[in-house]
Structure 1
């Protein structure tokens, strides 16, 4: 917590800071540190990975005027330490956090640009009364904040922010409207009006009586290099990924790999094996009765000489486990994949403290069905005559199941195309479902969020309560940059990397793994890998023949068996979502008791009758599964309102 202005004083009572810090014991069960001084209070929990004995936090500069706390890993800390030592800085240990106060002393608030890794961190400069609070470039680690009165409260999890006792429970209905459309809360939005998420690549600077958000890195816009051949691209990608994997093997504790048996995780594991002397520990989980990749993971582990661990669960988690996962998720994320990742993290944590994952490859290199759809949309633009306008007609007047595909082909802007592919609500259903404070919100909140990313390269997020910019017909302005308009595949990947990747997948990856005190590292999301991928032409990612991740498949040759390279992708639990929900809606004590309840928490802003009708249609098999993702979003939100929020708010009392 930082005092923003006024004469410096105590910003929080010591017992309240302890309560906030200990709300995140799972993130760091090995050590605990606090620091109180006029105008500042810092608390940290540590998961000891490097310099286990000597890495106590906060860390200080030589004269004690600069303090730093940090959640995550800085993979280039050894090189930075040598630079700083040569400039006269003195160190007492090997912990990566120790470089932060010295780096700040040398470079000032720009110091995050020198870091390579994943982090949520804070540096306090007592002499200048300045705080710099920073989140890593890709958003692998979370960071929440709230400016309440004259105090800025910040934490790695929303539950710690709420434990301050300063955050009111008022909901942010504009953000909830976006969540119900997308299935997650895009930064800076959270479910609460008072709380924000710091966007990736940004720092909060508290100085001179003000709080400002400064961007130090922007997600790279598509910049295809016309001189690259497919072989050049594959070779360059493998070189960057190999370096990223090697850097992420930095550890004083056992580490392993989350191995699904697919291309991405198998390639990461193969590169790990290249740089380690003993067998790599690999971990896989699957659910009986649902598509899983256990056999493929077993074959991949055998090929790589790994020491393999697998967990076969009797079925998708029951409703009690689902409730527990919502509490661990910290904010609502409507993605059942989190259930499997909880079990995978729990198993891995029994053997290792650190695990590498293949997460991010699909969003960088085009691994999803929607990326094939974007390639088709690019081709459709060149169809002349009446056939070219057919999708627009179907998207407005056709049967509901056909409207999504048609709207994808007909979308005039990248933002509208992504919403057509990924949105859970169409206009008629939104009008029927929303009531009260949601009904009062102008349509288009999700579209405004996505459009802001296409029109403003350095956007710090969008104020959802601001009026939507309009053009004739009530539509949003087209993207200002032709690079996104001209290449639907590149545009979709650019948006995926800043939206669902961060606030859906990385969000549940972080919470599920850290709930078990397991650190997960993601080499594909090394910022230098991401920047190189922006230079690869999209035709090398998704080909005209609709082959996905083509350049990665070329890069993996010789390291990964051909049958793994060309295996069909198996979605982790998403294909099972409809069956899981149908069973829970009919089970005693299951989801039905919440969605069919007479007075659910969501009744303030959603029509319970519409929700019950959608749930009954899905339970009885009459809905064709088309509303399953919306129903899961409503269910997750209801459990969060019923269980998580009262508990987290109570911890601040």
Structure 2
């Protein structure tokens, strides 16, 4: 979890004393308690290298890990298989020059400084799993893994970005570049930023190939290929760990991760010890999955540690999460507790089954089947969805297909335009009335002016996988998880975000993922003999809607207190102080009766925004900054 931070003088001038003080003092102090002493030294050290010092060789600092180490060694990027990732990155740079990043695969952000050409390269992995932020001030590029480290630099003005807030909080969108702070940006996923005397430039160095297609002769070949990539994804995540935890719920996804890791340990392909941990919910509730944990324990002759949860809170850790992530953030209060328990067991990382539902139970391929007039296959898959999801009404799957067909029939730009015009006419349909008209207008403008990526996909399914891989919503959820891990001192790993696994699923026929019309059929077949049959053939799914909504109802008094007086988001002109209490009362009634998550997300979004504002602008001396920003 070692972050990186530093500064680069585009004019080749020596850093000022306040720059050096920031490197040696503020950045290190900001990271204190969230990294080891060695990690803090690495974090501050890269900045000292980005200045004229007579050195002739490039220097690099890397946060994260490389997944294609063996591939790099095979082509001559180092001969020592024990060499650190940084050494392989430098060898790649010496071999391929500025295009070196295109040859890296993994979960990383990096900063590389070349003294001879006086050039700095900042880059993040194509999925944006490791963020890297930067700003420019007085001929200096300031960069860091954490936004607050940048904000601590004495020449950086701390001002919120209203467009960034509108997009993230109201639209649930993150373009990977803009943050919620004015002038502070993130290196977008799959991009590299190059800074030199001539200025700075951003370019995309890697993207998924939308034209790629993988076709095999039999279903068994798809299963074998998926199994190989899934096993590889799990091994990659734990390659350097001595002990790793797995968050096991008892569902197909997390149980597959846990059982695959245990299988790899028994085969000797994973050297780390593997421990199972689970959040358990009241017996008999829709969220109770303990019977499936017992199936794993019986089959594997192991014990899974249980952390009972009777009630959840969503905002208890929001302010600490915001401090780490730099964004309005939220997660269950039980999640940091789970991570801390894993850390107390000696684990340095924890695997999470997040995103599996989205990538392993797709349905956009039904649109492709309709276009090919394969009506029987469509009907069979819809029946399979209903048969294997006995707690979900078959009507849900039919309605999803109907909506997908309508969207596919209308040109995407026209569809977005029509939706934006409708939203402008009645913004209250999508935005709560507690936000000011100005903020809502900004959110609407951003939606209307958003441009397509220009990629042409062979199938609706391929496009959907690309959207999932680059989704701002899922990306922000992952950053919240990582922030919770940072607080607990543990690295959060998400194998279902493996780049090669996603590229494979994007390129195969969608009906192969739900093999035979069985949701997650490809995973279920690949896990035959690894996963207990009771879980592999499971036809139910835990439902957390009720417990989540009850949690928000219980937190409403706290949220009302936040807006009782002196709310920073009200003073900043983001929230309507007159409307917020009446609207919260109305939403409280909806939460008590609702069987969906929309109202909950809107209320939690409001609370997390205010807590984020208080974290960065909430001190009395900072209130003037809020008022001044609101006027401008």
SS at match of 2:507: coil
Query: Could you tell me which residue of structure 2 aligns to residue 21 of structure 1?
Result: 28
1:148 and 2:137 aligned:
yes
Distance (whole Å) between structure 2 residues aligned to residue 564 and residue 85 of structure 1: 43
Select the residue among 512, 519, 527 that pairs with 1:540.
512
Distance (whole Å) between structure 1 residues aligned to residue 198 and residue 178 of structure 2: 24
Distance (whole Å) between structure 1 residues aligned to residue 369 and residue 170 of structure 2: 25
Distance (whole Å) between structure 1 residues aligned to residue 128 and residue 88 of structure 2: 21
Query: Could you tell me which residue of structure 2 aligns to residue 311 of structure 1?
Result: 307
Select the residue among 573, 576, 589 that pairs with 2:547.
576
Query: Could you tell me which residue of structure 1 aligns to residue 388 of structure 2?
Result: none
SS at match of 2:10: coil
Distance (whole Å) between structure 1 residues aligned to residue 423 and residue 218 of structure 2: 38
1:614 and 2:609 aligned:
no
Distance (whole Å) between structure 1 residues aligned to residue 452 and residue 509 of structure 2: 24
Query: Could you tell me which residue of structure 2 aligns to residue 253 of structure 1?
Result: 242
Distance (whole Å) between structure 1 residues aligned to residue 492 and residue 482 of structure 2: 7
Name whichever of 634-643 and 603-612 sits farther off. Answer: 603-612
Distance (whole Å) between structure 2 residues aligned to residue 622 and residue 509 of structure 1: 25
TM superposition shift of 1:258: 2.4
SS at match of 2:304: strand
TM superposition shift of 1:577: 2.8
TM superposition shift of 1:375: 4.6
TM superposition shift of 1:218: 0.7
Where do residues 123-142 of structure 1 align in structure 2 (5 Å cutoff)? 123-142=112-131
TM superposition shift of 1:500: 3.9
Distance (whole Å) between structure 1 residues aligned to residue 373 and residue 324 of structure 2: 48
Q: CA RMSD in A?
A: 4.1
The Cα offsets for residues 219-269 of structure 1, whole Å up to 9 and x where unpaired, read as: 343744354543222211111111222233322632232222222222222
Q: Does the aligned pair in 1 maintain the 2:194–2:201 contact within 8 Å?
A: yes
Inter-CA distance 513–185: structure 2 relative to 1 (3 Å threshold): same
1:178 and 2:167 aligned:
yes
Query: Could you tell me which residue of structure 2 aligns to residue 284 of structure 1?
Result: 278
TM superposition shift of 1:530: 1.7
Query: Could you tell me which residue of structure 2 aligns to residue 33 of structure 1?
Result: 41
Inter-CA distance 505–419: structure 2 relative to 1 (3 Å threshold): farther
Report the TM-score, using the length of structure 2 for normalisation: 0.78
The Cα offsets for residues 11-30 of structure 1, whole Å up to 9 and x where unpaired, read as: 55332113123312355224
Query: Could you tell me which residue of structure 1 aligns to residue 293 of structure 2?
Result: 297
Report the TM-score, using the length of structure 1 for normalisation: 0.76
Distance (whole Å) between structure 1 residues aligned to residue 417 and residue 527 of structure 2: 29
Inter-CA distance 602–418: structure 2 relative to 1 (3 Å threshold): farther
Inter-CA distance 144–571: structure 2 relative to 1 (3 Å threshold): farther
TM superposition shift of 1:198: 1.5
The Cα offsets for residues 327-376 of structure 1, whole Å up to 9 and x where unpaired, read as: 4443114x54x53432221111112112333333333333xxxx558858
TM superposition shift of 1:169: 2.9
TM superposition shift of 1:295: 4.2
Distance (whole Å) between structure 2 residues aligned to residue 235 and residue 566 of structure 1: 19
1:355 and 2:350 aligned:
yes
Q: Does the aligned pair in 2 maintain the 1:167–1:195 contact within 8 Å?
A: no
Query: Could you tell me which residue of structure 2 aligns to residue 509 of structure 1?
Result: 481
TM superposition shift of 1:76: 3.6
SS at match of 1:41: helix
Distance (whole Å) between structure 2 residues aligned to residue 406 and residue 608 of structure 1: 40
Distance (whole Å) between structure 2 residues aligned to residue 202 and residue 492 of structure 1: 21
1:70 and 2:62 aligned:
yes
Q: Which has the higher helix share?
A: 2
SS at match of 1:315: coil
Q: Does the aligned pair in 2 maintain the 1:66–1:123 contact within 8 Å?
A: yes
Query: Could you tell me which residue of structure 2 aligns to residue 556 of structure 1?
Result: 527
Name whichever of 355-364 and 27-36 sits farther off. Answer: 27-36
SS at match of 1:628: helix
Inter-CA distance 326–301: structure 2 relative to 1 (3 Å threshold): farther
Q: Does the aligned pair in 2 maintain the 1:340–1:572 contact within 8 Å?
A: no
Q: Does the aligned pair in 2 maintain the 1:245–1:272 contact within 8 Å?
A: yes
Distance (whole Å) between structure 1 residues aligned to residue 592 and residue 564 of structure 2: 16
Q: Does the aligned pair in 1 maintain the 2:364–2:464 contact within 8 Å?
A: no
Select the residue among 337, 344, 349 that pairs with 1:343.
337
Q: Does the aligned pair in 2 maintain the 1:255–1:354 contact within 8 Å?
A: yes
Where do residues 203-242 of structure 1 align in structure 2 (5 Å cutoff)? 203-221=192-210, 223-227=212-216, 229-242=218-231
TM superposition shift of 1:197: 1.6
Query: How many positions carry a matched residue from both structures?
Result: 572
TM superposition shift of 1:433: 4.9
Q: Does the aligned pair in 2 maintain the 1:124–1:130 contact within 8 Å?
A: yes
1:243 and 2:232 aligned:
yes
